[in-house]
A and B are shown apart, each in its own frame.
Chain A
Amino acid sequence: MYEIRIHGRGGQGAVLAGGILATALVLEGKFVVAVPSFGFERRGAPVASYLRFDEREIRQMTNIYHPDCVLCIDPTVPRAVNVFEGIKDGAVLVQTTAKPLGDFELPREVATVGLCDAVSIALDIFKRSITNTIMLGAFARTTGLVSLDSLRAAIQKSDFRDAGLKQNMAALERGYESTQVRQIVREAAA
């Protein structure tokens, strides 16, 4: 079972991202449960969404405390919330940022990092900083756990129409293309 915790802010579509990713994974034959953290969050408050997938049926409908992957679709959330809480050894981080990898202080559990300047891409495509579909492309690129084709199909199945659909499809591609993936090699203690 693979567990992903998606961090964002209210109004950015973190929960919708979970839904689209869930649809894509189901198209690939996986079982998925996606649970959002819930409240009437005003636009801007940190929100999280929890997604698990597996080859077999998943029964628990609960939050995720030990994610294999942290997908953070907002560049400022790591300041407000500890996005790394409870992560497993060898975890993957997929982060929206304009900063280079060197600027980040990462816990030792993080083994793979995918960075994407989704805010700039979003401002370019949508004229607003809605990063969710861009970051789904970044997730696919960083982890390879879901194919771009499945994500494309999932977005087609969503409620986006006409111009919104075209924009989100473009956003997905650009997120995928522009993500930089790095493996972190740490010196083992002597």
Chain B
Amino acid sequence: MKRQAYNMFDASTIPDDLSPIATKLTPMLPGDWRSMRPVVDRAKCVKCAVCWLYCPVQCVVERPAWFDFNLKTCKGCGICATECPQRAITMYEEAA
């Protein structure tokens, strides 16, 4: 998380067998099990942001002249490639 108003509660101040709580957050990154990855043709991208809008895991990041994908989060669903009005995105098999 980028910004947090209060720090996480310090769990060491209470017994660890009292009420079940958690204070360590671990992100589950869908990029781990991707079998296809999106590659954007920068010349075709017009920054219409349709891919950004549709991406179910919000992994689309803005660059100066095109949109790119955060591959840690991208799970390779291919919705961006299907929705792109410019046909700028192609899905390629992930080398495994």
Interface residues of A (CB under 8 A from B): 9, 42, 44-45, 74-76, 79-80, 97-99, 119-120, 123, 129
> A44 to B95, Cβ gap below 8 A?
no
> A45 to B28, Cβ gap below 8 A?
yes
Within the complex, the shortest CB–CB distance from A173 to chain B, in Å, comes to 22
Known pairs A75-B96, A76-B96, A98-B95; A119 contacts B33 (CB<8 A): no
Measured between beta carbons, the chain A residues less than 8 angstroms from B95 are 98
- CB-defined A-B contacts under 8 Å, sample of 5: A44-B30, A44-B32, A44-B33, A45-B28, A119-B96
Given contacts A42-B28, A98-B96, A119-B35, 15 further A-B contacts (CB under 8 A): A44-B75, A45-B28, A74-B33, A75-B96, A76-B32, A76-B33, A76-B96, A79-B32, A80-B32, A98-B95, A119-B96, A120-B93, A123-B35, A123-B93, A129-B35
Closest 7 CB pairs of A and B: A75-B96, A44-B33, A129-B35, A9-B33, A76-B96, A76-B33, A44-B30
Q: How far is the CA of A97 from the CA of B28 in the complex (A)?
A: 24
> A97 to B33, Cβ gap below 8 A?
no
Measured between beta carbons, the chain A residues less than 8 angstroms from B96 are 75-76, 97-99, 119
Within the complex, the shortest CB–CB distance from B54 to chain A, in Å, comes to 18
Measured between beta carbons, the chain B residues less than 8 angstroms from A76 are 32-33, 96
Measured between beta carbons, the chain B residues less than 8 angstroms from A75 are 96
Which residue among B28, B32, B35 has the maximum number of chain A CB atoms within 10 Å of its CB? B35
Measured between beta carbons, the chain B residues less than 8 angstroms from A120 are 93
Measured between beta carbons, the chain B residues less than 8 angstroms from A80 are 32
Measured between beta carbons, the chain A residues less than 8 angstroms from B33 are 9, 44, 74, 76
Within the complex, the shortest CB–CB distance from B17 to chain A, in Å, comes to 23
Name the CB-closest residue of A to B93.
A123
Measured between beta carbons, the chain B residues less than 8 angstroms from A129 are 35
Interface string of B38-77 (1 = CB under 8 A from A): 0000000000000000000000000000000000000100
Measured between beta carbons, the chain B residues less than 8 angstroms from A119 are 35, 93, 96
